[in-house]
């Protein structure tokens, strides 16, 4: 297979394109009925009544001291905050962890949440900050407030929790998965099948989700703020039993080891 590219005519195909300087000069020198010079830029026609109304509005704003910009459009929505939160969770990694990986990921999530929430708190503590607006999910432009930013952050944390809880259930089922083996016999008319229970451990998704959501409380956030130890050494209150917590860590440890090609017995 070969590909032939012909470029012989390329240097000559633009020779017929020339700039009509006379036409450009005429356009620049053209004057409209209001004696406003027309340049090569895009223009918009405004009626005389509309122009007068606009001048009155500008004059009124100037006399009231409101001729400064009303605010700035801020690029924030549920998708962008979700992406920021995912990056913040990844940035919390300290070292390679092989044991209690579920606990460690919860610590990462809470630490990232704390860092982003602190950033919001600090921003709105500035009384001289410029008013900001954002494009809501329905396409409307709304005022951006501290409560709205915290609400969007909470939703981002919840979405991440639901995704990771669903992943936990999948990993649990894969860990317990055993193939169905069918034995064929020449002397038998029917095949004999031996299968294992592939349903996995029930309730792991709900237990993981409960742990994620329970982890974001003031006590846990305060513990992370005061602790000088690494994330892997912090034991947060996850609102689940010790046995369930151990099982969740076992599932995550098994999956991480399997992803690295390590066989756990």
Residue 207 has pLDDT above 80, yes or no: yes
- In this prediction, residue 79 carries a pLDDT of 84
Do 46 and 106 share a structural domain? no
- pTM summary value: 0.63
Alpha-carbon distance of 41 to 37, in angstroms, equals 11
Q: In this predicted model, which residue has the larger pLDDT, 8 or 237?
A: 237
Strand (E) or helix (H) holding 193: strand 192-194
For the segment 53-68, the average pLDDT, to the nearest whole number, is 63
Alpha-carbon distance of 265 to 262, in angstroms, equals 10
Alpha-carbon distance of 57 to 2, in angstroms, equals 68
Residue 154 has pLDDT above 70, yes or no: yes
- In this prediction, residue 44 carries a pLDDT of 58
Domain that holds residue 207: 72-180+197-259
Do the domain assignments include residue 7? Answer: no
Do 153 and 46 share a structural domain? no
For the segment 173-184, the average pLDDT, to the nearest whole number, is 62
Say how many domains are in the chain.
2
Do 89 and 62 share a structural domain? no
Do the domain assignments include residue 9? Answer: no
- In this prediction, residue 103 carries a pLDDT of 94
Do 170 and 54 share a structural domain? no
Do 52 and 120 share a structural domain? no
Residue 134 DSSP SS3? strand
Of 257, 238, 224, the closest CA to residue 161 belongs to: 238
Do 125 and 46 share a structural domain? no
- In this prediction, residue 261 carries a pLDDT of 65
Residue 200 has pLDDT above 50, yes or no: no
Do the domain assignments include residue 158? Answer: yes
Residue 223 has pLDDT above 80, yes or no: yes
Residue 181 DSSP SS3? strand
Boundary of a domain, candidates 12, 38, 68: 68
Do the domain assignments include residue 153? Answer: yes
Per residue in 80-108, pLDDT (tens digit) is: 889 999 999 988 877 777 788 999 999 99
Alpha-carbon distance of 227 to 233, in angstroms, equals 9
Do the domain assignments include residue 118? Answer: yes
Contact indicator for 168, 255 with CB cutoff of 8 Å: no
Residue 177 DSSP SS3? coil
In this prediction, residue 216 has a pLDDT band, given cuts at 50, 70 and 90, of very high
Q: In this predicted model, which residue has the larger pLDDT, 73 or 41?
A: 73
Whole-angstrom CA distances from 145 to 39, 92, 138, 259 are: 42, 27, 17, 42
């Amino acid at each position: 297979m070969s590909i032939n590219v012909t470029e012989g005519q390329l240097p000559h195909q633009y020779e017929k394109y020339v700039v009509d300087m006379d036409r450009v000069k005429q356009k620049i020198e053209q004057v409209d009925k209001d004696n406003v010079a027309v340049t090569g830029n895009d223009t918009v026609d405004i009626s005389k009544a509309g122009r007068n109304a606009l001048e009155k509005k500008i004059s009124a704003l100037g006399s009231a001291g409101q001729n400064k910009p009303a605010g700035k459009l801020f690029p924030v929505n549920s998708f962008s905050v979700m992406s920021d939160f995912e990056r913040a969770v990844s940035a919390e990694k300290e070292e390679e962890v092989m044991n209690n990986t579920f606990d460690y990921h919860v610590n990462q999530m809470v630490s990232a949440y704390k860092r982003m929430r602190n950033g919001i708190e600090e921003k709105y503590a500035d009384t001289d900050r410029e008013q900001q607006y954002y494009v809501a999910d329905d396409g409307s432009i709304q005022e951006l407030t501290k409560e709205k930013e915290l609400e969007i952050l909470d939703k981002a944390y919840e979405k991440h929790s639901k995704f990771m809880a669903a992943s936990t259930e999948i990993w649990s089922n894969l860990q317990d998965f055993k193939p169905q083996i069918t034995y064929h016999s020449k002397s038998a008319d029917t095949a004999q099948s031996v299968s294992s229970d592939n349903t996995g451990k029930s309730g792991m998704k709900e237990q993981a989700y409960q742990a994620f959501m329970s982890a974001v409380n003031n006590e846990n956030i305060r513990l992370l703020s005061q602790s000088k130890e690494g994330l892997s050494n912090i034991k947060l209150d996850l609102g689940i039993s010790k046995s369930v917590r151990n099982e969740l860590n076992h599932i995550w440890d098994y999956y991480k080891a399997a992803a690295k090609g390590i066989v756990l017995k």
